[in-house]
């Protein structure tokens, strides 16, 4: 698989929920080859030492989009970028969702920023002949992503301010293919209900290319592998959820 390191201009920015923004980058080589669930690793100069990983949200002929919230200094700096600014963009990285032809129905379950890989997942699931149901949850209506893409869309909020009151996992119908992305606690619940679901994990990440071993994912069968290389998409039952940190602190001081 080809990997590209691009000096990519920012081309667009729009808000999709409270504190949540979609940023477009001109990155033709990545746009043409990225698969749902894969990510890019972004760096700014000057900026924090390490890159920041983002699932590719959408891809067109020449552009990719990512979705982000300011959770730390690095993401705050990325959010401050305006069209015309540039970011160093490394990708596509990781192993994405496997969406082979055959199954007729897919349900996409996303929590909060877990929308990130879902537009591409909807695209690829549809291309494989599946009917797509998208279940999206957040704490409140204001935090729900305004952009969803499914034949059926189901909303869930913790406070009941929009859609079903409760979690996205509880609100989701069964389907032949289940794809999930969101906080690790949500994915652990998804793994209980659908062990065969494919989930895109979030971990701390160093290099994104498989050498630093910083993004270790504890496996049910013992040992660790790398979210950036063998992941970030896993079969839900393969992950040892009890050993995966549920809370990621982004208090980066760089």
Partner 1 sequence: MSVVIGGMRLRGPVLAASGTFGYGTEVPLLERRALGAMVSKGIFLRAREGTAPPRIAETPSGMLNAIGLQGPGADALISDYAPRWAEWDFPVLVNINGESASEYGELTARLDGIPGVAGFEINISCPNVEQGGLYFGNDPRAAAAVTEAVRKRTKLPVWVKLTPMVSDIGVIARAVESAGADALCAINTFVGMSIDLNAYRPRLSFRTGGLSGPAIRPLAIHLAHQAARAVDIPVIGIGGIMRAEDALEFLVAGCAAVQVGTATFVNPNAIAEVHDGIAAFLDSRGFSSLSSLPRYLPRD
Task: Determine, following the binding rule CB under 8 A, whether residue 221 of this chain makes contact with partner 1.
Answer: no
Task: Determine, following the binding rule CB under 8 A, whether residue 28 of this chain makes contact with partner 1.
Answer: no
Distance CA 188, CA 51 (A): 27
Task: Determine, following the binding rule CB under 8 A, whether residue 242 of this chain makes contact with partner 1.
Answer: no
Among the listed residues 157, 197, 193, the one whose alpha carbon sits nearest the alpha carbon of residue 177 = 197
- Residue list 41-60, contact with partner 1 (CB under 8 A): 43, 48-51
Task: Tell me the closest approach of the beta carbon of residue 209 to partner 1, in angstroms.
Answer: 6
Task: Tell me the closest approach of the beta carbon of residue 36 to partner 1, in angstroms.
Answer: 21
Q: Which long-range contacts (CB under 8 A, 24 or more apart) does 243-248 make?
A: 243/218, 244/184, 244/188, 244/201, 244/203, 244/217, 244/218, 245/184, 245/203, 246/183, 246/184, 246/185, 246/188, 248/202, 248/203, 248/204
Which span sits near partner 1 by CB under 8 A: 24-32, 75-83, 104-112, 197-205?
197-205
The one among 206, 220, 230, 237 contacting partner 1 by CB under 8 A: 206
Distance CA 125, CA 134 (A): 11
Per CB under 8 A, residues contacting partner 1 are: 3, 5, 43, 48-51, 74, 88, 90, 203-207, 209-218, 222-224, 229, 243-245, 247-249, 251-254
């Amino acid at each position: 698989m080809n990997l590209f390191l691009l000096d990519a201009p920012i081309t667009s920015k729009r808000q999709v929920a409270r504190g949540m923004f979609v940023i477009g980058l001109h990155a033709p080589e990545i746009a043409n080859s990225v698969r749902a669930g894969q990510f890019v690793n972004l760096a700014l100069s000057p900026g924090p030492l390490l890159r920041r990983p983002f699932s590719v949200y959408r891809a067109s002929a020449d552009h990719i989009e990512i979705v982000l919230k300011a959770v730390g200094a690095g993401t705050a700096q990325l959010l401050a970028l305006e069209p015309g600014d540039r970011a160093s963009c490394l990708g596509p990285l990781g192993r994405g969702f496997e969406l082979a032809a055959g199954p007729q129905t897919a349900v996409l379950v996303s929590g909060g920023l877990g929308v990130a890989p879902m537009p591409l997942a909807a695209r690829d699931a549809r291309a494989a002949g599946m009917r797509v149901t998208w279940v999206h949850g957040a704490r409140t209506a204001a935090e729900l992503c305004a952009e969803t893409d499914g034949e059926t869309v189901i909303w869930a909020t913790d406070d009941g301010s929009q859609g079903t009151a409760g979690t996205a996992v509880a609100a989701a119908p069964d389907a032949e293919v289940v794809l999930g992305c969101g906080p690790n606690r949500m994915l652990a619940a998804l793994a209980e209900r659908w062990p065969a679901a494919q989930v895109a994990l979030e971990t701390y990440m160093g290099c994104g290319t498989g050498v630093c071993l910083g993004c270790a994912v504890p496996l049910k069968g013992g040992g660790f592998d790398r979210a950036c290389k063998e992941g970030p998409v896993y079969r839900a039952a393969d992950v040892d959820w009890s050993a995966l940190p549920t809370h990621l602190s982004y208090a980066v001081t760089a």
